[in-house]
Structure 1
Amino acid sequence: MYQLGSLGITARTLATPLLLLALTSGAALGQTIPRDAKRIVSIGGTVTEIIFALGEQERIVAVDSTSTYPAEAADKPDVGYIRQLSAEGVLSQKPDLIIAEAGAGPADAITILKASGLTMVSIPTPPEAEAIAGKIRAVGAAVGKSAAAEKLAIDVDTGLAALSQKLAAIDGPKKRVLFALSLSNGRVMAAGTETSADAIIRLAGGINAAGAVSGYKPLSDEAVIAAAPDVVLVMDNPQLHLSAGEAFALPSLQASPAAKAGAFIAMDSLYLLGLGPRTPEAAFDLAAKLYPDVFKP
Protein backbone atom coordinates (compact mmCIF):
# COMPACT_ATOMS: atom_id res chain seq x y z
CA MET A 1 0.00 0.00 0.00
CA TYR A 2 1.28 3.48 -0.74
CA GLN A 3 0.36 6.84 0.76
CA LEU A 4 0.15 9.93 -1.39
CA GLY A 5 1.47 11.97 1.51
CA SER A 6 4.68 9.92 1.54
CA LEU A 7 5.36 11.16 -1.98
CA GLY A 8 5.47 14.75 -0.81
CA ILE A 9 1.94 15.67 -1.79
CA THR A 10 0.30 18.40 0.27
CA ALA A 11 -3.36 19.33 0.52
CA ARG A 12 -2.84 22.04 -2.08
CA THR A 13 -1.12 19.62 -4.48
CA LEU A 14 -4.10 17.31 -4.19
CA ALA A 15 -6.17 19.97 -5.90
CA THR A 16 -4.37 19.17 -9.17
CA PRO A 17 -6.50 16.44 -10.74
CA LEU A 18 -3.99 15.33 -13.40
CA LEU A 19 -1.15 14.93 -10.94
CA LEU A 20 -3.46 13.16 -8.52
CA LEU A 21 -4.65 10.77 -11.20
CA ALA A 22 -1.11 9.92 -12.26
CA LEU A 23 -0.08 9.11 -8.71
CA THR A 24 -3.16 7.21 -7.60
CA SER A 25 -2.90 5.09 -10.73
CA GLY A 26 0.34 3.78 -9.29
CA ALA A 27 2.07 4.36 -12.62
CA ALA A 28 5.19 5.69 -10.98
CA LEU A 29 5.22 2.70 -8.64
CA GLY A 30 4.59 -0.04 -11.18
CA GLN A 31 1.08 -0.62 -9.87
CA THR A 32 -2.11 -0.26 -11.88
CA ILE A 33 -5.47 0.29 -10.24
CA PRO A 34 -8.18 -1.87 -11.81
CA ARG A 35 -10.58 0.82 -13.04
CA ASP A 36 -13.29 -1.80 -13.54
CA ALA A 37 -12.88 -3.24 -10.03
CA LYS A 38 -16.13 -4.95 -9.05
CA ARG A 39 -15.24 -5.97 -5.51
CA ILE A 40 -14.02 -3.05 -3.42
CA VAL A 41 -13.29 -3.20 0.30
CA SER A 42 -13.70 0.32 1.67
CA ILE A 43 -11.86 1.07 4.91
CA GLY A 44 -12.62 4.38 6.62
CA GLY A 45 -15.98 6.05 7.14
CA THR A 46 -15.19 9.02 4.91
CA VAL A 47 -13.90 6.83 2.07
CA THR A 48 -17.11 4.81 2.17
CA GLU A 49 -19.21 7.96 2.30
CA ILE A 50 -17.44 9.35 -0.77
CA ILE A 51 -17.88 6.13 -2.76
CA PHE A 52 -21.60 6.20 -1.98
CA ALA A 53 -21.79 9.88 -2.93
CA LEU A 54 -20.22 9.00 -6.29
CA GLY A 55 -22.91 6.36 -6.86
CA GLU A 56 -20.50 3.43 -6.81
CA GLN A 57 -21.82 1.68 -3.70
CA GLU A 58 -22.77 -1.48 -5.57
CA ARG A 59 -19.07 -2.18 -6.07
CA ILE A 60 -18.42 -2.21 -2.32
CA VAL A 61 -18.34 -5.75 -0.94
CA ALA A 62 -17.26 -4.87 2.62
CA VAL A 63 -16.56 -1.90 4.88
CA ASP A 64 -14.96 -1.23 8.24
CA SER A 65 -16.84 -0.44 11.45
CA THR A 66 -16.38 3.33 11.10
CA SER A 67 -18.42 3.29 7.89
CA THR A 68 -21.68 4.36 9.46
CA TYR A 69 -23.06 6.60 6.71
CA PRO A 70 -25.20 6.28 4.78
CA ALA A 71 -27.35 3.77 6.64
CA GLU A 72 -27.07 1.35 3.71
CA ALA A 73 -23.38 0.90 4.53
CA ALA A 74 -24.47 -1.20 7.50
CA ASP A 75 -25.77 -3.80 5.08
CA LYS A 76 -22.21 -4.53 3.93
CA PRO A 77 -20.02 -7.13 5.68
CA ASP A 78 -17.84 -5.58 8.39
CA VAL A 79 -14.08 -6.31 8.35
CA GLY A 80 -13.43 -4.66 11.72
CA TYR A 81 -12.24 -1.36 13.12
CA ILE A 82 -9.98 0.66 10.81
CA ARG A 83 -6.96 0.32 13.12
CA GLN A 84 -7.68 -3.25 14.17
CA LEU A 85 -8.33 -4.94 10.85
CA SER A 86 -8.26 -8.66 10.30
CA ALA A 87 -6.28 -9.42 7.14
CA GLU A 88 -8.08 -12.74 6.84
CA GLY A 89 -11.43 -10.99 7.10
CA VAL A 90 -10.51 -8.60 4.29
CA LEU A 91 -9.13 -11.34 2.07
CA SER A 92 -12.23 -13.50 2.63
CA GLN A 93 -14.22 -10.90 0.69
CA LYS A 94 -12.12 -11.66 -2.41
CA PRO A 95 -11.62 -7.98 -3.29
CA ASP A 96 -9.95 -6.78 -6.45
CA LEU A 97 -9.33 -3.33 -4.90
CA ILE A 98 -8.88 -2.06 -1.34
CA ILE A 99 -9.25 1.65 -0.62
CA ALA A 100 -8.24 2.69 2.88
CA GLU A 101 -7.79 5.89 4.78
CA ALA A 102 -4.19 6.55 5.74
CA GLY A 103 -3.39 5.08 9.14
CA ALA A 104 -5.31 1.83 8.67
CA GLY A 105 -3.77 -1.03 10.58
CA PRO A 106 -2.40 -2.84 12.45
CA ALA A 107 0.91 -3.03 10.64
CA ASP A 108 1.01 -6.83 10.51
CA ALA A 109 -2.43 -6.96 8.87
CA ILE A 110 -1.35 -4.41 6.26
CA THR A 111 1.83 -6.40 5.61
CA ILE A 112 -0.25 -9.50 4.90
CA LEU A 113 -2.59 -7.60 2.59
CA LYS A 114 0.36 -6.09 0.70
CA ALA A 115 1.96 -9.52 0.34
CA SER A 116 -1.28 -10.89 -1.13
CA GLY A 117 -0.70 -8.87 -4.29
CA LEU A 118 -4.00 -7.05 -4.00
CA THR A 119 -4.11 -3.48 -5.24
CA MET A 120 -4.40 -1.07 -2.31
CA VAL A 121 -4.81 2.69 -2.35
CA SER A 122 -4.20 4.76 0.77
CA ILE A 123 -6.17 7.99 0.89
CA PRO A 124 -4.43 10.85 2.77
CA THR A 125 -6.50 12.28 5.60
CA PRO A 126 -4.80 15.44 6.86
CA PRO A 127 -7.00 17.21 9.44
CA GLU A 128 -7.49 20.26 7.25
CA ALA A 129 -10.63 21.57 5.62
CA GLU A 130 -8.56 22.52 2.59
CA ALA A 131 -7.78 18.83 2.04
CA ILE A 132 -11.38 17.62 1.73
CA ALA A 133 -11.62 18.28 -2.01
CA GLY A 134 -8.34 16.47 -2.58
CA LYS A 135 -9.57 13.48 -0.57
CA ILE A 136 -12.68 13.31 -2.74
CA ARG A 137 -10.61 13.53 -5.91
CA ALA A 138 -8.29 10.77 -4.67
CA VAL A 139 -11.18 8.39 -4.06
CA GLY A 140 -12.76 9.35 -7.38
CA ALA A 141 -9.53 8.59 -9.22
CA ALA A 142 -9.24 5.23 -7.46
CA VAL A 143 -12.72 4.12 -8.54
CA GLY A 144 -12.44 5.60 -12.04
CA LYS A 145 -14.95 8.40 -11.42
CA SER A 146 -12.77 11.49 -11.58
CA ALA A 147 -15.34 13.67 -13.34
CA ALA A 148 -18.04 12.97 -10.74
CA ALA A 149 -15.50 13.46 -7.95
CA GLU A 150 -14.45 16.81 -9.39
CA LYS A 151 -18.05 18.02 -9.31
CA LEU A 152 -18.49 16.81 -5.74
CA ALA A 153 -15.23 18.44 -4.67
CA ILE A 154 -16.30 21.76 -6.19
CA ASP A 155 -19.68 21.51 -4.45
CA VAL A 156 -17.93 20.99 -1.10
CA ASP A 157 -15.61 23.94 -1.62
CA THR A 158 -18.58 26.08 -2.68
CA GLY A 159 -20.45 25.13 0.48
CA LEU A 160 -17.46 25.98 2.66
CA ALA A 161 -17.07 29.33 0.94
CA ALA A 162 -20.76 30.13 1.52
CA LEU A 163 -20.38 29.29 5.19
CA SER A 164 -17.35 31.53 5.46
CA GLN A 165 -19.36 34.43 4.07
CA LYS A 166 -22.15 33.76 6.56
CA LEU A 167 -19.70 33.72 9.45
CA ALA A 168 -18.51 37.18 8.47
CA ALA A 169 -21.78 38.47 9.93
CA ILE A 170 -20.78 37.43 13.46
CA ASP A 171 -20.69 40.50 15.66
CA GLY A 172 -18.77 40.03 18.86
CA PRO A 173 -16.19 37.63 20.26
CA LYS A 174 -15.93 34.13 18.87
CA LYS A 175 -17.01 31.21 21.03
CA ARG A 176 -14.30 29.19 22.74
CA VAL A 177 -15.08 25.52 22.11
CA LEU A 178 -13.60 22.62 24.06
CA PHE A 179 -13.87 19.30 22.22
CA ALA A 180 -13.83 16.46 24.75
CA LEU A 181 -13.01 13.07 23.29
CA SER A 182 -13.55 11.44 26.66
CA LEU A 183 -14.04 12.27 30.32
CA SER A 184 -12.27 9.50 32.20
CA ASN A 185 -10.92 9.49 35.74
CA GLY A 186 -11.93 13.11 36.09
CA ARG A 187 -9.69 14.20 33.22
CA VAL A 188 -10.70 15.79 29.94
CA MET A 189 -9.16 14.21 26.85
CA ALA A 190 -9.26 17.26 24.59
CA ALA A 191 -8.61 17.91 20.91
CA GLY A 192 -5.82 20.37 20.27
CA THR A 193 -4.47 21.62 16.96
CA GLU A 194 -3.79 19.25 14.05
CA THR A 195 -7.03 17.35 14.68
CA SER A 196 -10.24 17.11 12.71
CA ALA A 197 -12.07 18.52 15.75
CA ASP A 198 -9.89 21.63 15.58
CA ALA A 199 -10.66 21.93 11.87
CA ILE A 200 -14.43 21.73 12.30
CA ILE A 201 -14.40 24.18 15.22
CA ARG A 202 -12.55 26.72 13.11
CA LEU A 203 -14.82 26.08 10.12
CA ALA A 204 -17.81 26.85 12.34
CA GLY A 205 -16.30 30.15 13.41
CA GLY A 206 -15.17 29.03 16.85
CA ILE A 207 -11.86 29.13 18.70
CA ASN A 208 -10.38 25.86 19.90
CA ALA A 209 -10.17 26.31 23.67
CA ALA A 210 -7.47 23.60 23.75
CA GLY A 211 -5.43 25.22 21.02
CA ALA A 212 -2.37 25.33 23.28
CA VAL A 213 -1.80 21.59 22.75
CA SER A 214 -1.36 19.48 19.64
CA GLY A 215 -3.30 16.31 18.93
CA TYR A 216 -5.53 14.61 21.48
CA LYS A 217 -4.17 15.17 24.99
CA PRO A 218 -5.43 14.76 28.57
CA LEU A 219 -5.61 18.20 30.14
CA SER A 220 -4.77 19.03 33.72
CA ASP A 221 -7.46 20.72 35.78
CA GLU A 222 -5.43 23.91 35.59
CA ALA A 223 -5.34 23.73 31.79
CA VAL A 224 -9.10 23.20 31.57
CA ILE A 225 -9.76 26.14 33.88
CA ALA A 226 -7.42 28.32 31.83
CA ALA A 227 -9.16 27.20 28.61
CA ALA A 228 -12.39 28.77 29.91
CA PRO A 229 -14.63 27.21 27.25
CA ASP A 230 -17.90 28.84 26.29
CA VAL A 231 -19.09 25.51 24.87
CA VAL A 232 -18.23 21.86 25.42
CA LEU A 233 -18.46 19.76 22.24
CA VAL A 234 -18.55 15.94 22.22
CA MET A 235 -19.35 13.05 19.90
CA ASP A 236 -22.89 11.72 20.18
CA ASN A 237 -21.77 8.18 20.98
CA PRO A 238 -23.79 6.08 23.48
CA GLN A 239 -20.74 3.93 24.19
CA LEU A 240 -18.84 6.94 25.54
CA HIS A 241 -21.68 8.08 27.82
CA LEU A 242 -20.65 11.73 27.59
CA SER A 243 -23.37 13.94 29.03
CA ALA A 244 -23.66 17.54 30.07
CA GLY A 245 -24.21 16.45 33.65
CA GLU A 246 -21.02 14.41 33.67
CA ALA A 247 -18.98 17.14 32.00
CA PHE A 248 -20.13 20.01 34.17
CA ALA A 249 -19.74 17.92 37.33
CA LEU A 250 -15.98 17.99 36.83
CA PRO A 251 -14.39 20.50 39.20
CA SER A 252 -12.32 21.91 36.35
CA LEU A 253 -15.47 22.76 34.35
CA GLN A 254 -17.93 23.71 37.09
CA ALA A 255 -17.03 27.40 36.99
CA SER A 256 -16.55 27.60 33.22
CA PRO A 257 -18.69 29.86 31.02
CA ALA A 258 -19.96 26.68 29.34
CA ALA A 259 -21.23 25.23 32.62
CA LYS A 260 -22.87 28.51 33.63
CA ALA A 261 -24.70 28.66 30.29
CA GLY A 262 -25.34 24.93 30.05
CA ALA A 263 -23.66 25.07 26.64
CA PHE A 264 -23.13 21.42 25.68
CA ILE A 265 -23.26 20.12 22.10
CA ALA A 266 -23.24 16.47 21.00
CA MET A 267 -23.01 15.56 17.31
CA ASP A 268 -22.59 12.36 15.32
CA SER A 269 -18.90 11.48 15.15
CA LEU A 270 -18.53 10.81 11.41
CA TYR A 271 -20.71 13.79 10.51
CA LEU A 272 -18.75 16.09 12.81
CA LEU A 273 -15.19 14.81 12.35
CA GLY A 274 -15.17 12.95 9.02
CA LEU A 275 -14.05 15.94 6.92
CA GLY A 276 -15.88 14.55 3.93
CA PRO A 277 -18.75 15.45 1.59
CA ARG A 278 -21.09 16.47 4.43
CA THR A 279 -18.60 18.76 6.17
CA PRO A 280 -20.16 22.03 4.90
CA GLU A 281 -23.48 20.94 6.40
CA ALA A 282 -21.86 19.73 9.63
CA ALA A 283 -19.93 22.99 10.05
CA PHE A 284 -23.09 24.99 9.30
CA ASP A 285 -25.02 22.98 11.92
CA LEU A 286 -22.31 23.54 14.51
CA ALA A 287 -22.10 27.23 13.66
CA ALA A 288 -25.87 27.54 14.06
CA LYS A 289 -25.59 26.08 17.56
CA LEU A 290 -22.71 28.41 18.43
CA TYR A 291 -24.24 31.56 16.94
CA PRO A 292 -28.04 31.16 16.85
CA ASP A 293 -28.54 34.89 16.37
CA VAL A 294 -26.62 34.80 13.09
CA PHE A 295 -27.98 31.47 11.83
CA LYS A 296 -31.66 32.07 12.41
CA PRO A 297 -34.14 29.58 10.90
Structure 2
Amino acid sequence: MGPRRIVCLTEESTETLYALGEQDRIVGISGFTVRPPQARKEKPKVSAFTSAKIGEILKLQPDLAIGFSDIQADIAAELVRHGVEVWISNHRSVDGIVDYVRRLGALVGAAARANAYADTLERGLDALRAQAALLPRRPTVYFEEWDEPQITGIRWVSELIGIAGGDDVFPEKAREPLARHRILADGSDVVRRAPDIILGSWCGKKFRPDRVAARPGWEAIPAVRDGELHEIKSPLILQPGPAALTDGVGAIAAIIRRWAGRHG
Protein backbone atom coordinates (compact mmCIF):
# COMPACT_ATOMS: atom_id res chain seq x y z
CA MET A 1 0.00 0.00 0.00
CA GLY A 2 2.56 2.59 1.08
CA PRO A 3 1.68 6.17 2.03
CA ARG A 4 -1.83 7.22 1.01
CA ARG A 5 -1.74 10.98 1.68
CA ILE A 6 1.38 12.61 0.25
CA VAL A 7 2.36 16.26 0.23
CA CYS A 8 4.85 17.06 -2.55
CA LEU A 9 7.01 20.02 -1.54
CA THR A 10 8.68 20.26 -4.96
CA GLU A 11 7.60 19.53 -8.51
CA GLU A 12 9.63 16.43 -9.38
CA SER A 13 7.77 14.19 -6.92
CA THR A 14 4.44 15.39 -8.29
CA GLU A 15 5.48 14.82 -11.89
CA THR A 16 6.84 11.36 -11.10
CA LEU A 17 3.76 10.21 -9.17
CA TYR A 18 1.48 11.38 -12.00
CA ALA A 19 3.68 9.55 -14.52
CA LEU A 20 3.30 6.39 -12.45
CA GLY A 21 -0.47 6.77 -12.20
CA GLU A 22 -0.26 7.36 -8.45
CA GLN A 23 -1.59 10.93 -8.40
CA ASP A 24 -4.53 10.03 -6.17
CA ARG A 25 -2.07 9.76 -3.29
CA ILE A 26 -1.15 13.45 -3.61
CA VAL A 27 -3.05 15.80 -1.28
CA GLY A 28 -0.90 18.92 -1.62
CA ILE A 29 1.74 20.34 -3.97
CA SER A 30 4.28 23.11 -4.39
CA GLY A 31 3.02 26.40 -5.76
CA PHE A 32 5.84 26.25 -8.31
CA THR A 33 4.45 23.09 -9.89
CA VAL A 34 3.69 23.39 -13.60
CA ARG A 35 4.12 19.76 -14.67
CA PRO A 36 1.79 18.11 -15.23
CA PRO A 37 -0.61 21.01 -15.85
CA GLN A 38 -3.59 19.20 -14.31
CA ALA A 39 -1.83 19.05 -10.94
CA ARG A 40 -2.29 22.80 -10.48
CA LYS A 41 -6.01 22.40 -11.13
CA GLU A 42 -6.53 19.34 -8.94
CA LYS A 43 -4.29 19.79 -5.91
CA PRO A 44 -4.03 22.50 -3.23
CA LYS A 45 -0.79 24.49 -3.23
CA VAL A 46 0.77 24.41 0.22
CA SER A 47 4.45 25.28 -0.22
CA ALA A 48 6.99 27.35 -2.06
CA PHE A 49 10.60 26.16 -2.18
CA THR A 50 12.04 27.69 0.97
CA SER A 51 8.76 28.11 2.85
CA ALA A 52 5.55 26.19 3.43
CA LYS A 53 2.11 26.65 4.95
CA ILE A 54 2.70 24.26 7.82
CA GLY A 55 -0.81 24.68 9.21
CA GLU A 56 -2.41 23.98 5.85
CA ILE A 57 -0.21 20.91 5.38
CA LEU A 58 -1.20 19.55 8.78
CA LYS A 59 -4.89 20.02 7.97
CA LEU A 60 -4.35 17.65 5.02
CA GLN A 61 -3.25 14.94 7.48
CA PRO A 62 -0.40 13.65 5.30
CA ASP A 63 1.31 10.38 6.08
CA LEU A 64 4.33 11.47 4.04
CA ALA A 65 5.86 14.74 2.83
CA ILE A 66 8.44 14.62 0.04
CA GLY A 67 10.95 17.41 -0.51
CA PHE A 68 14.33 18.10 -2.04
CA SER A 69 17.69 19.19 -0.70
CA ASP A 70 19.10 20.95 2.31
CA ILE A 71 17.24 24.09 1.25
CA GLN A 72 14.06 22.49 2.58
CA ALA A 73 15.65 21.27 5.81
CA ASP A 74 13.77 23.80 7.98
CA ILE A 75 10.41 22.83 6.45
CA ALA A 76 11.23 19.17 6.97
CA ALA A 77 12.24 19.72 10.58
CA GLU A 78 9.03 21.60 11.36
CA LEU A 79 6.90 18.85 9.84
CA VAL A 80 8.82 16.18 11.72
CA ARG A 81 8.20 18.07 14.97
CA HIS A 82 4.49 17.84 14.17
CA GLY A 83 4.70 14.10 13.66
CA VAL A 84 4.78 14.00 9.86
CA GLU A 85 7.05 11.48 8.16
CA VAL A 86 9.34 13.25 5.70
CA TRP A 87 11.57 12.08 2.85
CA ILE A 88 14.11 14.62 1.60
CA SER A 89 16.03 13.46 -1.46
CA ASN A 90 19.31 15.16 -2.31
CA HIS A 91 20.21 13.85 -5.76
CA ARG A 92 22.19 16.12 -8.09
CA SER A 93 23.10 13.97 -11.10
CA VAL A 94 21.40 12.33 -14.06
CA ASP A 95 21.91 8.90 -12.50
CA GLY A 96 20.51 10.30 -9.28
CA ILE A 97 17.33 11.45 -11.03
CA VAL A 98 16.80 8.02 -12.58
CA ASP A 99 17.39 6.37 -9.21
CA TYR A 100 14.97 8.84 -7.60
CA VAL A 101 12.21 7.64 -9.93
CA ARG A 102 12.93 4.03 -8.94
CA ARG A 103 13.04 4.80 -5.20
CA LEU A 104 9.87 6.89 -5.21
CA GLY A 105 8.04 4.17 -7.09
CA ALA A 106 9.16 1.56 -4.57
CA LEU A 107 8.07 3.83 -1.73
CA VAL A 108 4.48 3.89 -3.00
CA GLY A 109 4.30 0.23 -3.99
CA ALA A 110 4.73 0.84 -7.72
CA ALA A 111 8.26 -0.49 -8.14
CA ALA A 112 7.60 -2.38 -11.38
CA ARG A 113 6.02 0.63 -13.08
CA ALA A 114 8.75 2.92 -11.76
CA ASN A 115 11.50 0.65 -13.03
CA ALA A 116 9.86 0.47 -16.45
CA TYR A 117 9.50 4.25 -16.53
CA ALA A 118 13.11 4.75 -15.44
CA ASP A 119 14.25 2.33 -18.15
CA THR A 120 12.33 4.40 -20.71
CA LEU A 121 14.04 7.57 -19.49
CA GLU A 122 17.44 5.90 -19.79
CA ARG A 123 16.70 4.68 -23.33
CA GLY A 124 15.79 8.22 -24.32
CA LEU A 125 19.11 9.48 -23.00
CA ASP A 126 20.97 6.70 -24.81
CA ALA A 127 19.27 7.72 -28.06
CA LEU A 128 20.41 11.32 -27.56
CA ARG A 129 23.98 10.16 -26.87
CA ALA A 130 23.92 8.19 -30.13
CA GLN A 131 22.69 11.25 -32.05
CA ALA A 132 25.33 13.43 -30.41
CA ALA A 133 28.07 11.04 -31.47
CA LEU A 134 27.21 11.82 -35.09
CA LEU A 135 27.66 15.57 -34.75
CA PRO A 136 30.56 16.94 -36.83
CA ARG A 137 31.67 19.13 -33.92
CA ARG A 138 30.77 19.58 -30.25
CA PRO A 139 30.07 23.15 -29.14
CA THR A 140 31.20 24.56 -25.83
CA VAL A 141 28.25 25.71 -23.71
CA TYR A 142 27.81 28.19 -20.89
CA PHE A 143 24.67 27.57 -18.84
CA GLU A 144 23.47 30.41 -16.61
CA GLU A 145 21.06 29.56 -13.80
CA TRP A 146 20.83 33.14 -12.50
CA ASP A 147 22.04 36.53 -13.66
CA GLU A 148 22.64 38.67 -10.57
CA PRO A 149 24.92 37.17 -9.40
CA GLN A 150 25.85 34.99 -12.32
CA ILE A 151 25.42 31.33 -11.32
CA THR A 152 26.50 28.44 -13.52
CA GLY A 153 24.64 25.17 -14.04
CA ILE A 154 24.27 22.38 -11.50
CA ARG A 155 25.63 18.89 -12.07
CA TRP A 156 22.63 17.28 -13.80
CA VAL A 157 22.44 20.24 -16.20
CA SER A 158 26.14 19.92 -17.03
CA GLU A 159 25.71 16.19 -17.61
CA LEU A 160 22.69 16.72 -19.84
CA ILE A 161 24.63 19.23 -21.93
CA GLY A 162 27.21 16.49 -22.46
CA ILE A 163 24.57 13.92 -23.37
CA ALA A 164 23.05 16.38 -25.86
CA GLY A 165 26.38 16.85 -27.64
CA GLY A 166 27.97 19.86 -25.97
CA ASP A 167 30.72 20.53 -23.44
CA ASP A 168 30.02 22.61 -20.35
CA VAL A 169 32.62 25.37 -19.97
CA PHE A 170 32.40 25.21 -16.16
CA PRO A 171 32.45 21.47 -15.39
CA GLU A 172 34.39 22.04 -12.16
CA LYS A 173 31.65 24.31 -10.79
CA ALA A 174 28.91 21.88 -11.80
CA ARG A 175 30.22 19.51 -9.12
CA GLU A 176 29.30 22.06 -6.44
CA PRO A 177 25.85 21.14 -5.04
CA LEU A 178 25.10 24.58 -3.58
CA ALA A 179 24.31 27.55 -5.80
CA ARG A 180 26.48 29.90 -3.77
CA HIS A 181 29.50 27.84 -4.72
CA ARG A 182 28.66 28.17 -8.42
CA ILE A 183 28.66 31.98 -8.42
CA LEU A 184 31.11 33.53 -10.87
CA ALA A 185 33.27 36.11 -9.17
CA ASP A 186 34.02 37.75 -12.49
CA GLY A 187 32.06 37.53 -15.75
CA SER A 188 35.32 37.86 -17.63
CA ASP A 189 35.90 34.17 -16.93
CA VAL A 190 33.08 33.42 -19.38
CA VAL A 191 34.80 35.61 -21.94
CA ARG A 192 38.05 33.68 -21.48
CA ARG A 193 36.29 30.32 -21.89
CA ALA A 194 34.61 31.57 -25.08
CA PRO A 195 31.47 29.41 -25.25
CA ASP A 196 29.91 28.70 -28.63
CA ILE A 197 26.42 28.63 -27.09
CA ILE A 198 24.94 30.41 -24.08
CA LEU A 199 21.89 28.85 -22.43
CA GLY A 200 19.91 30.80 -19.86
CA SER A 201 17.39 29.48 -17.37
CA TRP A 202 16.85 32.17 -14.78
CA CYS A 203 14.89 30.14 -12.24
CA GLY A 204 11.42 31.54 -12.73
CA LYS A 205 12.06 34.79 -14.62
CA LYS A 206 12.45 35.42 -18.31
CA PHE A 207 15.92 35.08 -19.79
CA ARG A 208 17.08 38.31 -21.46
CA PRO A 209 19.63 37.61 -24.22
CA ASP A 210 19.97 41.35 -24.92
CA ARG A 211 21.13 42.01 -21.36
CA VAL A 212 23.60 39.15 -21.51
CA ALA A 213 25.02 40.31 -24.83
CA ALA A 214 25.45 43.84 -23.46
CA ARG A 215 27.72 42.79 -20.58
CA PRO A 216 31.14 44.46 -20.78
CA GLY A 217 33.52 42.49 -22.98
CA TRP A 218 31.01 39.80 -23.85
CA GLU A 219 30.80 40.90 -27.47
CA ALA A 220 34.01 38.89 -27.97
CA ILE A 221 32.30 35.62 -26.99
CA PRO A 222 31.50 33.42 -30.05
CA ALA A 223 27.97 32.76 -28.76
CA VAL A 224 27.26 36.50 -28.54
CA ARG A 225 28.92 37.24 -31.87
CA ASP A 226 26.85 34.54 -33.59
CA GLY A 227 23.57 35.19 -31.77
CA GLU A 228 23.62 31.80 -30.03
CA LEU A 229 21.87 32.85 -26.83
CA HIS A 230 18.88 30.67 -25.97
CA GLU A 231 16.43 30.23 -23.13
CA ILE A 232 15.62 26.85 -21.60
CA LYS A 233 12.46 27.27 -19.53
CA SER A 234 13.32 26.62 -15.89
CA PRO A 235 10.54 24.04 -15.25
CA LEU A 236 12.14 21.90 -17.98
CA ILE A 237 15.67 21.83 -16.62
CA LEU A 238 16.05 23.13 -13.06
CA GLN A 239 13.91 20.47 -11.36
CA PRO A 240 15.79 17.21 -10.72
CA GLY A 241 13.01 15.08 -12.13
CA PRO A 242 11.69 13.53 -15.35
CA ALA A 243 11.24 16.85 -17.18
CA ALA A 244 14.99 17.45 -17.22
CA LEU A 245 15.61 14.01 -18.74
CA THR A 246 12.98 14.45 -21.45
CA ASP A 247 11.91 17.93 -22.55
CA GLY A 248 14.86 19.69 -20.91
CA VAL A 249 17.65 17.72 -22.52
CA GLY A 250 15.59 17.57 -25.72
CA ALA A 251 15.52 21.36 -25.92
CA ILE A 252 19.28 21.52 -25.38
CA ALA A 253 19.89 18.85 -28.02
CA ALA A 254 17.78 20.71 -30.58
CA ILE A 255 19.79 23.91 -30.03
CA ILE A 256 23.07 22.01 -30.36
CA ARG A 257 21.95 20.22 -33.54
CA ARG A 258 20.99 23.54 -35.14
CA TRP A 259 24.34 25.01 -34.12
CA ALA A 260 26.18 22.02 -35.57
CA GLY A 261 24.26 22.39 -38.81
CA ARG A 262 25.47 25.97 -39.13
CA HIS A 263 29.02 25.51 -37.86
CA GLY A 264 29.93 21.92 -38.75
Q: TM-score range by the shorter chain?
A: 0.7 to 0.9
Corresponding residue of 1:158 = 123
| 1:48 maps to 2:10 | no
Secondary structure of the residue that 1:218 maps to in structure 2? Answer: coil
Identical counterparts, % of pairs: 25
Aligned-residue offset at 1:92: 2.4
CA change 1:157–1:201 in 2 (3 A) is same
Query: Contact 2:236 / 2:248 at 8 angstroms: preserved in 1?
Result: yes
| Distance across 2 between alignment mates of 1:84 and 1:227 | 37
| Distance across 2 between alignment mates of 1:52 and 1:45 | 11
Secondary structure of the residue that 2:236 maps to in structure 1? Answer: helix
Aligned-residue offset at 1:282: 2.5
Corresponding residue of 2:228 = 263
- Residues 10-49 of structure 1 show CA distances to partners (whole Å, capped at 9, x for unaligned) of xxxxxxxxxxxxxxxxxxxxxxxxx353321012211111
| Distance across 1 between alignment mates of 2:71 and 2:57 | 12
Secondary structure of the residue that 1:94 maps to in structure 2? Answer: coil
Structure 2 spans left out of the alignment, 5+ residues: 177-181
Corresponding residue of 1:73 = 39
Query: Contact 2:142 / 2:195 at 8 angstroms: preserved in 1?
Result: yes
Q: Mapping of 1:163-202 within 5 angstroms? A: 163-172=128-137, 174-184=138-148, 188-191=150-153, 195-202=155-162
CA change 1:86–1:218 in 2 (3 A) is farther
CA change 1:252–1:243 in 2 (3 A) is same
Between stretches 285-294 and 203-212, larger displacement belongs to 285-294
Letter in 2 for 1:167: A
- Residues 76-121 of structure 1 show CA distances to partners (whole Å, capped at 9, x for unaligned) of 21122222223223212221222222335252x3222112222222
| Distance across 2 between alignment mates of 1:129 and 1:188 | 23
Structural RMSD (CA): 2.3
| Distance across 2 between alignment mates of 1:90 and 1:146 | 27
User: 2:60 aligned to 90, 93, 102, which one?
Assistant: 93
- Residues 227-269 of structure 1 show CA distances to partners (whole Å, capped at 9, x for unaligned) of 21111111276x5342111110111322110111111111221
CA change 1:212–1:136 in 2 (3 A) is closer
Q: Which has the higher helix share?
A: 2
Letter in 2 for 1:233: L
Letter in 2 for 1:169: L
User: 1:147 aligned to 112, 118, 126, which one?
Assistant: 112
Aligned length: 254
Letter in 2 for 1:202: G
Normalising by structure 2, what TM-score?
0.87
Corresponding residue of 1:82 = 49
Structure 1 spans left out of the alignment, 5+ residues: 1-34
User: 2:242 aligned to 266, 269, 277, which one?
Assistant: 277
Query: Contact 1:176 / 1:209 at 8 angstroms: preserved in 2?
Result: yes
Corresponding residue of 2:27 = 61
